[in-house]
Amino acid sequence: MFNIISNQLKCSGTKISFRSVGYQSALALSNLYPESSLKIKTLDKPQTKISEEFSGFIPIDQLQITYSRSTGPGGQNVNKVNTKVDVRFHLQSATWLSDEVKSKITEKFGSKLTKEGHLIFRSDVTRSQQLNLADCLQKLRQCIITSLQVKPEPSPESEEKKRKAIEKANRMRLAMKRERIITVYLKQNTDNRTYLKAYNK
């Protein structure tokens, strides 16, 4: 039927693309965000900062991003569309972070660095490439924020509570040790008395 319509349109000199009449879900990103661009690009730096050391801004052009087929739950696009996202972040070459921030990240997440010095973040939680990329960026952002968090100094009340808990634990440990010693002593003496009675008979 499409061939017949196409031939008729060709004869009349009219060109038409059948892609324009293809089905599109109501939940498609272009329908949900009609005025937004779906192209992946580096956004402008935010005006407000998360902290003095990190604004929350991540330049996407300084990351290594790869896409692959998702291994998630089924659906018409599973194993057909490259929706799984891998983001590789090379720590030492990141010009948008200070050396102090890099040092704190290494101290906190050094065990997760690859031999080449990359932190790797993966996501296939959705069937949308853009949303999975956003999830990876959020993981990287949270990693940096966690590295910059300063452990608060304990209050005098919490220190006193901790000291009392340690003292109580030590008293209980010594009491249990004393109880075991008494039990062993009584058992040994009971066994000795039983042996002497049997020998004297």
Q: Quickly list H helices, 45-155.
A: 99-109, 129-148
Which pLDDT score, from 0 to 100, does residue 128 have? Answer: 87
pLDDT tens digits along 20-50: 455 677 767 677 667 666 565 555 555 445 5
Check if the beta carbon of residue 34 is closer than 8 Å to that of residue 28: no
Give residue for tokens 């956004």: 43
CA distance linking residue 117 with residue 115, whole number of Å: 5
- Domain extents in the chain: 37-148, 154-201
Instruction: Give the tokens for residue 125.
Output: 């939680």
pLDDT tens digits along 57-92: 899 999 999 999 876 555 555 567 788 999 999 999
Give residue for tokens 């050396």: 99
- CATH number 3.30.160.20 is the correct assignment for the domain at 37-148: yes
pLDDT higher than 50, residue 108 = yes
pTM of the model: 0.53
Burial class (CB in 10 A: 0-12, 13-18, 19+), 72: middle
CA distance linking residue 72 with residue 119, whole number of Å: 23
User: Considering only CA atoms, which of 136, 137, 144 is closest in space to residue 105?
Assistant: 144
Which pLDDT score, from 0 to 100, does residue 69 have? Answer: 85
User: Which residues face 118 on adjacent strands?
Assistant: 90
Instruction: Give the tokens for residue 131.
Output: 């949303």
pLDDT higher than 80, residue 192 = no
Three-state SS for 189? helix
